[in-house]
């Protein structure tokens, strides 16, 4: 018997599958097959706290409480940007282990989260002696169009942090058919959710205070 895996996407159309995850349950010490563990995958929250809360409520009602409270919940990343409530989303996720101590929570990083982390300076320094700055050169032709961040601390910032907090000059995202929200990563609403101006170099301080 295999544990069931469900994959759901907050942003856009939800995608759900009931195909079994092809990893056989580990046998117990008494040589009987262990009870399958419910596995739920959730991706692309993108600052939409109401959708996340509604999804969570639906999951609680869809599954037996005993199974849900012991489930493995895998978050596939992209928690921030685009939607209006990144701070509330992160608060919700941070509180899950205390609210559901018997669940297992796995938080993966998406490209938006990586760029957010790069801007607030929590990425580890390269171990090969190469500076983050050297990574700018390959994409420097995009610097003006994407309006890379040039505020406090930019000199030693990873490229994606500069792109995340930049001010893109092209207003319309033709590939998605929507307006950009501040930067190429649509990070404007993330800054707003913390009550600071877009591109504020004080974002890391606000994260320390609020999280």
d(CA 44, CA 79) in angstroms, rounded, equals 6
Find out whether 106 and 73 touch, Cβ atoms under 8 Å.
Answer: yes
DSSP per residue, 67-97 = HHTT-EEEE-S--SSSSS-HHHHHHHHHHHH
Given 46, 67, 105, 112, which residue is catalytic? 112
Phi first, then psi, for residue 120 (nearest 5°) are -85, 0
Does residue 112 carry a catalytic annotation? yes
Provide the edge-to-edge strand list for the sheet that holds 5-9: 5-9, 39-43, 72-75, 104-107
d(CA 156, CA 133) in angstroms, rounded, equals 6
The residue count of the chain comes to 211
With residues binned 3-state (H G I as helix, E B as strand, rest as coil), the percentages for the chain, rounded to 5, are 40, 15, 50
- Active site amino acids: 112
């Amino acid at each position: 018997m295999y544990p069931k895996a469900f994959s759901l996407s907050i942003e856009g159309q939800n995608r759900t599958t009931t195909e079994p995850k092809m990893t056989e349950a580990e046998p117990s010490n008494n040589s009987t097959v262990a009870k399958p563990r419910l596995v739920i995958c959730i991706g692309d929250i993108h600052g939409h706290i109401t959708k996340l809360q509604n999804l969570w409520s639906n999951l609680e009602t869809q599954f037996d409480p005993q199974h849900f409270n012991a489930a493995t919940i895998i978050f596939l990343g992209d928690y921030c940007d685009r939607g209006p409530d990144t701070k509330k989303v992160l608060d919700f996720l941070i509180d899950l282990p205390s609210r559901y101590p018997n669940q297992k929570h796995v938080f993966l990083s998406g490209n938006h989260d990586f760029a957010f982390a790069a801007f607030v300076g929590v990425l580890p320094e390269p171990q090969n002696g190469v500076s983050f700055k050297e990574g700018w050169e390959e994409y420097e032709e995009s610097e003006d169009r994407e309006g890379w961040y040039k505020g406090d601390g930019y000199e030693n910032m990873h490229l994606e942090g500069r792109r995340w907090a930049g001010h893109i000059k092209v207003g319309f995202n033709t590939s998605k058919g929507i307006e950009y929200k501040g930067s190429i990563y649509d990070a404007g609403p993330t800054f707003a959710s913390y009550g600071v101006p877009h591109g504020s170099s004080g974002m890391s301080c606000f994260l320390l205070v609020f999280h």
